[in-house]
C-alpha cells in the first residue's frame, strides 16, 4: 500500500464553472461562512473620518476624492463604522464591483455593507473574489430590482 503525499501546489476542480481549479486543501463554503456583517452605528461618535468607496481606488478617505458632486453629511451618528481590513460594499453598485478592502478606520454611508472575516479566512482573498468579473456576473442572478 502506497502513501498519498499532497504537494502544496496540488490543484483540484472547484466544481464552479467560472472559477476552475483551486488548491486541493481548500474547501468550498458559502460567503456567510466566511464573512460577518458589521452593522455598528457611529453613535456615540467613534470617528469623524468619512470614507468613500470608488470603483477604481477602493476605500479612500472622502477628503481624497477631489472634485465632488456629492457632499458628505455632517451628522456622523448616522454613518456605519469601518475598521482596517474590513470589506466595504456599496449596496447599490455591488454588482459592478463597487467593493473594496479598507486600509483605514472611519465611517461610511449607512447604505453600505461592512464585512469582517471569520477566523481562518483571509480577508484579502474575499476582497479578490468580490473584484472578479465572473463573481459579479454570478451575483446578478440573485439580484432583485425594479
β-bridge mates for residue 11, sequence order: 23
pLDDT in the model for residue 5 = 56
Q: What is the DSSP string of 39-95?
A: --B--S-----BEEEETTTEEEEGGGG-S-SS---S-GGGSEEE-TTEEEEETTTGG
Per-residue model confidence as pLDDT tens digits over 118-139: 999 999 999 998 888 888 877 7
pLDDT in the model for residue 48 = 94
Q: pTM for the complete prediction?
A: 0.80
Number of neighbours of residue 97 by Cβ within 10 angstroms: 18
Catalogue all structural domains in the chain, each as residue range(s) with its CATH number.
31-65+77-140 (3.90.220.20)
pLDDT in the model for residue 113 = 93
Cis peptide before 96 (omega within 30 of 0): no
SS3 state at 113: strand
pLDDT in the model for residue 107 = 96
pLDDT in the model for residue 7 = 56
Residues of the chain with pLDDT under 50: 146
Amino acid at each position: 500500500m502506497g502513501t498519498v503525499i499532497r504537494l502544496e501546489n496540488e490543484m483540484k476542480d472547484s466544481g464552479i464553472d467560472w472559477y476552475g481549479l483551486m488548491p486541493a486543501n481548500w474547501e468550498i463554503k458559502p460567503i456567510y461562512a466566511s464573512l460577518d456583517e458589521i452593522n455598528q452605528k457611529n453613535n456615540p461618535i467613534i470617528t469623524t473620518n468619512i470614507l468613500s468607496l470608488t470603483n477604481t481606488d477602493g476605500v479612500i478617505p472622502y477628503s481624497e476624492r477631489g472634485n465632488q458632486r456629492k457632499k458628505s453629511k455632517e451628522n456622523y451618528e448616522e454613518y456605519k463604522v469601518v475598521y482596517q481590513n474590513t470589506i466595504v460594499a456599496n449596496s447599490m453598485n455591488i454588482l459592478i464591483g463597487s467593493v473594496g478592502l479598507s486600509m483605514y478606520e472611519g465611517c461610511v454611508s449607512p447604505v453600505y455593507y461592512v464585512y469582517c472575516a471569520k477566523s481562518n479566512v483571509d480577508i484579502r482573498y474575499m476582497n479578490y473574489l468580490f473584484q472578479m468579473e465572473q463573481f459579479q456576473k454570478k451575483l446578478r442572478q440573485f439580484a432583485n430590482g425594479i
